[in-house]
Amino acid sequence: MSANITSVLKESRVFPPSNEFVGHTLVNEAERHRLCEWAASDFEGFWAAQAESLHWFYKWDKVLDWSNAPHAKWFTGGLINASYNCLDRHLTTARKNKAAIIWEGEPGDTKTLTYQQLHHQVCKFANGLKQLGIQKGDRVTIYMPMTPEAAIAMLACARIGAVHSVIFGGFSAEAVADRNNDAKAKLVITADIGWRRGNVIPLKQNVDAALEKSPTVEKVIVFNRARNTGVHMKPGRDIWWHDLMSDVSANCPAEHLDSEHPLFILYTSGSTGKPKGVLHTTGGYMLGASLTHKWVFDIKDDDVYWCTADVGWVTGHSYIVYGPLANGSTVVMYEGAPNHPKEDRFWDIVEKYRVTVLYTAPTAIRAFIKWGDEHPKKHDLSSLRLLGSVGEPINPEAWMWYHEVIGGGRCPIVDTWWQTETGAIMIAPLPGAVPTKPGSATKPLPGIFAEVVDKEGKVVPANSGGFLVVKKPWPSMMRTIYGDDQRFKDTYWSNYPGIYFTADGARQDEDGYIWVMGRVDDVLNVSGHRLSTMEVESALVNHPKVAEAAVVGRPDDLKGEAICCFVTLKQGNAPSDSLKADLKAHVAKEIGALARPDEIKFTDTLPKTRSGKIMRRLLRDIAANREGAQDTTTLEDYGVLAKLRADEE
């Protein structure tokens, strides 16, 4: 659970929708009420009407098939294409020459693509994919820096019905190999390098290492981000992006795909060591992403919208690429770190492009607070009209700072709760309709039936803690875990049959506002990134000197949670600072820099129950320096606890 519980419990401030929004918003209070009632009384009719906002080659036969629950089929028989919805349908409108993507690289280079230009590039690249033998249903790994080419690659896959699996550029070669193998990817699209805080991320080199263990991959397309980096190109396997694009036609009609055709796989951490390939399909996902983008961000045609996530995460999929482009928005995309070359980089971008809607994460907001108000204050942020937050609970202090210092006290904040699995925002205020309370994602969106329940599935009384669940299916819900349907059923649908289990703890206040507290499983939220404690443990025990490891989260002011590892060494190995450094580097190499442990504690034994289960709650208390108020009667070895505490002093 998160660190913010106490401050959140005391929170009582309420911010009603501002005058700028009431009356000018897409969804006002009365309209929200009407939509909620409609969804409650005519669930399928409600969703069918919303789906009219997309372009269908053939409108569905049936809105929802839930007969094989928990496997939902939405808009069955419908024919649709995500890339067509994001591009082609704007070309016959005034949006044709509107900026689709305004991109800025970390070194300061820039590029703008209109909808027409983006369409041209996507069509050519899609033909390039076909030329390399990629067909409908083939899996394609995308391991790219934050450049427009990442979006082009995704949309080109979608255009021909190939299923993309985007891997965040911060993941290691090992992680890329695991995901290639799990998805049986046929092709990898990457770049020579990526830029991060002035440093080079050797993407192609990582791919080369990954491909030694990825037998299914036949070809690699390499985008030349930095030129002259001298990467090795393997003849017959590797091809430069620009070479592929030099000789292909720009005529590539979008495939008419079944509404349930897979659009992408996105790996995310669960409570075991093996990441889950969350599978999303086309029609329902596109509806969820585009509708929520329009509603929650109150998107207008003249908005300049910037979501600061990476396309490697679900936020980048739904709110940089598919949602905003389907709505014909102008999207700002930035490649690098928020503090490069200086701590005002974000505010420089907001000022330069006159950003109107900004969507970022609490971990970034906490870093900005730490860096000082002078950085945003140097810039004219008056273009901003709406601010968003995602990825973890936002503490009221950070919310207030965001509201006042960035939003000048005038911009509503939409705190959006959702997950990789949900595909789109589920709980969030609609800015012209719902008063906000700092730290609460407020209420479920129309059509979403989320509740807080106890172990038996009974709704808990106001202000009591419970589990967040979703009682009805929704269009952008995940369809399965790729290659492991049993895990899909066990993880999300076995606690409460027919009801989706989010694995988040929450409470609902007397006004029905939902306050999400954090995960109730062994998933950490480190700087808004999901990591399983077991993944880090498996990486640690892979090290030749490690006998056993237990990993827990510790509250951290900046990262939300820090990674704290308890490690026992194999006989004959002595604890040392250099071994600590070695183990941290080892985990970063196995998973990626985002998983680098913050703390390693050596111990002779780990506290276990008589049945041999590691007592994580105790370790969490030790990691957080809390006095344990917990029941220790099931502890196998009381001495271990005393010793771990003593080592703490």
Q: Which stretch binds ligand PRX (CB under 6 A): 66-74, 80-88, 176-184, 388-396?
A: 388-396
Of 121 and 268, nearer to ligand PRX (C-beta) is: 268
Is position 364 an interface residue for ligand PRX (rule: CB under 6 A)?
Answer: no
Which one of 190, 416, 532, 538 is in contact with ligand PRX (CB under 6 A)? 416
| Residue with the CB atom nearest ligand PRX in the bound state | 420
Q: Supply 329's token pair.
A: 């928005």
The answer to whether residues 554 and 562 touch, using CB atoms and an 8 Å cutoff, is yes
Is position 516 an interface residue for ligand PRX (rule: CB under 6 A)?
Answer: yes
Which one of 122, 211, 314, 398 is in contact with ligand PRX (CB under 6 A)? 314
Nearest-angstrom CA–CA distance, 356 and 465 = 36
Nearest-angstrom CA–CA distance, 160 and 127 = 9
Beta strands 330-334 and 357-360, pairing class: unpaired
Instruction: Output the smallest distance, CB 504 to ligand PRX, in A.
Output: 5
User: Exposed/middle/buried for 47, CB within 10 Å: 0-12, 13-18, 19+?
Assistant: buried
Nearest-angstrom CA–CA distance, 214 and 180 = 6
Instruction: Output the smallest distance, CB 599 to ligand PRX, in A.
Output: 22
Instruction: Output the smallest distance, CB 516 to ligand PRX, in A.
Output: 4
Instruction: Output the smallest distance, CB 427 to ligand PRX, in A.
Output: 8
Q: Which stretch binds ligand PRX (CB under 6 A): 284-292, 511-519, 568-576, 620-628?
A: 511-519
The answer to whether residues 517 and 506 touch, using CB atoms and an 8 Å cutoff, is yes
Residues 6+ apart with CB under 8 A from 71: 479, 480
- Which residue in the block uniquely carries the two structure tokens 């971008």? 349
Is position 391 an interface residue for ligand PRX (rule: CB under 6 A)?
Answer: yes
Nearest-angstrom CA–CA distance, 367 and 558 = 6
Q: Which stretch binds ligand PRX (CB under 6 A): 223-231, 343-351, 384-392, 619-627?
A: 384-392
Element (H, E) at 40: helix 29-41
Which one of 28, 272, 339, 419 is in contact with ligand PRX (CB under 6 A)? 419
| Encoded amino acid at 48, one letter | A
Beta strands 465-470 and 450-453, pairing class: antiparallel
Number of other CB atoms surrounding residue 19 within 10 Å: 9
Residues 6+ apart with CB under 8 A from 9: none
Of 390 and 430, nearer to ligand PRX (C-beta) is: 390
Which one of 35, 160, 390, 564 is in contact with ligand PRX (CB under 6 A)? 390
Q: Supply 587's token pair.
A: 């985990």
Beta strands 219-223 and 262-268, pairing class: unpaired
Is position 420 an interface residue for ligand PRX (rule: CB under 6 A)?
Answer: yes
Q: Supply 462's token pair.
A: 């106001």
Instruction: Output the smallest distance, CB 67 to ligand PRX, in A.
Output: 28
Is position 171 an interface residue for ligand PRX (rule: CB under 6 A)?
Answer: no
Which one of 47, 418, 474, 513 is in contact with ligand PRX (CB under 6 A)? 418
Instruction: Output the smallest distance, CB 521 to ligand PRX, in A.
Output: 9
Of 70 and 270, nearer to ligand PRX (C-beta) is: 270
Of 75 and 492, nearer to ligand PRX (C-beta) is: 492
DSSP sequence for 179-220:
HHHHHT-SEEEEES-EEETTEEE-HHHHHHHHHTT-TT--EE
Total residues in contact with ligand PRX, by rule CB under 6 A: 21
- Report the phi/psi class of residue 457: left, alpha or beta, with left for phi > 0 and alpha for psi in -120 to 50: left
Which one of 121, 206, 315, 603 is in contact with ligand PRX (CB under 6 A)? 315
Which one of 170, 393, 423, 432 is in contact with ligand PRX (CB under 6 A)? 393
Q: How far does the chain reach from its first CA to its final CA, in angstroms?
A: 25
Q: Which stretch binds ligand PRX (CB under 6 A): 232-240, 471-479, 517-525, 635-643?
A: 517-525
Is position 392 an interface residue for ligand PRX (rule: CB under 6 A)?
Answer: yes
Is position 518 an interface residue for ligand PRX (rule: CB under 6 A)?
Answer: yes
Of 126 and 531, nearer to ligand PRX (C-beta) is: 531
Is position 527 an interface residue for ligand PRX (rule: CB under 6 A)?
Answer: no
Number of other CB atoms surrounding residue 613 within 10 Å: 11
Site for ligand PRX in 262-291 (CB under 6 A): 268
Instruction: Output the smallest distance, CB 419 to ligand PRX, in A.
Output: 4
Instruction: Output the smallest distance, CB 287 to ligand PRX, in A.
Output: 17
Build a one-symbol-per-residue string for 444-483: x at contacts with ligand PRX by CB under 6 A, - elsewhere: ----------------------------------------
Element (H, E) at 370: helix 362-371
Of 127 and 290, nearer to ligand PRX (C-beta) is: 290
Of 358 and 516, nearer to ligand PRX (C-beta) is: 516
Number of other CB atoms surrounding residue 543 within 10 Å: 18
DSSP sequence for 588-615:
HHHTBGGG--SEEEE-SS--BBTTS-B-
Cα angle 24, 30, 32 (rounded to 5 degrees) comes to: 90
Of 105 and 553, nearer to ligand PRX (C-beta) is: 553
Residue 503: phi, psi to the nearest 5? Answer: 70, 20
Nearest-angstrom CA–CA distance, 62 and 95 = 32
Of 72 and 441, nearer to ligand PRX (C-beta) is: 441
Nearest-angstrom CA–CA distance, 268 and 481 = 10
Which one of 525, 533, 538, 603 is in contact with ligand PRX (CB under 6 A)? 525
Q: Which stretch binds ligand PRX (CB under 6 A): 70-78, 89-97, 282-290, 512-520?
A: 512-520
How remote is the C-alpha of 416 from its chain's centroid? 12
Q: Supply 636's token pair.
A: 């196998």
Instruction: Output the smallest distance, CB 541 to ligand PRX, in A.
Output: 25
Build a one-symbol-per-residue string for 490-509: x at contacts with ligand PRX by CB under 6 A, - elsewhere: ------------x-x-----
Which one of 113, 142, 441, 540 is in contact with ligand PRX (CB under 6 A)? 441
Is position 50 an interface residue for ligand PRX (rule: CB under 6 A)?
Answer: no
Nearest-angstrom CA–CA distance, 4 and 395 = 6
By CB under 6 A, name the binding residues for ligand PRX: 268, 314-315, 390-393, 415-420, 441, 502, 504, 516, 518-519, 525, 530
